[in-house]
Structure 1
Amino acid sequence: MNIDRNVLDWMLEVRTPWLTDVVTVITNLGGTAASWAIAAAITIALVVRRHRVEAVMVAGAMFTGLFVMSGLKLVFRRDRPPFPERLVDEATHSFPSGHAMMSAILVCVVAAVIVRLAAPRWRAPWVFALLACWTLLIGLSRVYLGAHWLTDVLAGWLFGAAWAALWIWGVVWFERKRQQVGQTSLS
């Protein structure tokens, strides 16, 4: 796509050594290991606090999201941007961006947990803005480093948000059904 090439060319123009170092740190914060460590810590904290449903939502969305993302990469089989534009070497296909998709899943389910469980002060707009900025920076870092085309990242965010929404909806639906069954058995 023309927009992909234009955005990558612009990223090449703004690359500097110090900015590349900063962007590399950002991309690593959104990588598989970091996302899984964050998700695991949140899941464990939720289980310890006896919020099992929310723990299942976080762990389930991330775990199944990994399989969905890997499956989409196999279906689309899109090549990554060429070298020398690419500053990172990746073995998997490009579409959708795994960093963008998994960070979007994590951000969305964490936002849902905050809405469901957190004190009102943690439901402030700045908290959700920080979460959104985190996934935005991660996705854009992948384009800057030439690991992905812009459309790979956009698709990753969309697929990730959709997958998280499906899990969030499923948890809400499950809880309503469970409450209905509980009310029926009391009648």
Structure 2
Amino acid sequence: MKLKYQIFIAFILSILSLLGFSFMAILISGHQIIKFDSTIISVVQGFESPMLTAIMKFFTFIGSTISVAVISLLAFLFLYKVLKHRSELILFVAVIIGTPILNQTLKLFFHRTRPDLHRLIGASGYSFPSGHAMNAFSVYGILSFLLWRHIPTRWGRIFLIFISSLMILMIGTSRIYLGVHYPTDIIGGYFASGCWLAFSIWFYQRYQEKRNKKFASGETK
């Protein structure tokens, strides 16, 4: 019953994320969100200071492709060697590899240029949705899902969610602060990754349910 509930929740979250992303896509396509983006950028960049810039550059580096690859490799080894995950590794790899593919596909479809207001670092490519935001959401989201059941205490799980949420939020905010993404790029990236992550978990849990039923029917024969 618990597995059925998880499957239902994953399905609902994937649909809600898809609707959220679709809404953001409609807004940016109709240029109806420019004022919102400009206002948020002004507020975030209004806190500019040398120390904060260094901090934001650090979080942007953590969300870069190289850093995500290293973090993912270390997480893969930890899940395999320490926690003895096996089938879960397929889910992990699918989420991690599928995210940048989805991101590039969406960027090529929407062709949104990056903001050119006050850039603190250089960046190339299209803007929507943010690759950093998508990578962060996928990596820390799937790690939270896989590590959750191995943490016995409530406070340990709260800490896991807090750290994951903080990393996702800070990596996304760093892209706005550094002037290389609109806020809606970040929000759209979260929704896109949320949809992919939830769908992947739904698919995996469905597979687990069918496998459990198969084993159960085999044992009763």
TM-score bucket (shorter structure): over 0.9
TM-score, structure 2 as length reference: 0.79
Match of 2:109 in 1: 75
1:116 paired to 2:154: no
Shift of 1:123: 4.5
Q: What is the correspondence of 1:59-138 to structure 2 with a 5 Å cutoff?
A: 59-82=93-116, 85-120=118-153, 123-138=156-171
Task: Report if the CA contact (8 A) 2:114-2:127 is conserved.
Answer: yes
**Retained in 1: the 8 A contact 2:148–2:157?**
no
Q: Report the secondary structure of 2:123's partner residue.
A: coil
Q: d(CA) in 1 for partners of 2:136 and 2:45?
A: 24
Q: Given the two structures, how large is their TM-score scaled by the length of structure 1? A: 0.92
Q: CA deviation at 1:56?
A: 1.5
Structure with the larger RCO, 1 or 2 (CA within 8 Å, 6+ apart): 2
CA distance in 2, matches of 1:43, 1:181: 28
After superposition, give the CA deviation of every residue in 1:102-126 in whole Å (9 maximum; x if it has no partner): 1001111111102233333675212
* CA shift for structure 1 position 9: 2.0
The residue number in structure 1 matching 2:11 is none
Q: Any idea what the Cα deviations from partners look like across 1:13-69, whole Å, max 9, x if unmatched?
A: 221122111110111111111112111111122222431122122111010111001
Shift of residue 130, structure 1, vs aligned partner: 1.3
1:153 maps to a residue whose letter is I
Q: CA deviation at 1:182?
A: 1.6
1:21 to 49, 54, 57: 54
| Structure 1 unaligned residues grouped into runs of 5+ | none
Distance 1:152 1:5 in 2: 12
Equivalenced residue count is 186
Structure 1 runs, 4 residues or longer, greater than 6 Å off: none
1:82-106 deviation line (CA, Å, top 9, x unaligned): 15x1222222110001111110011
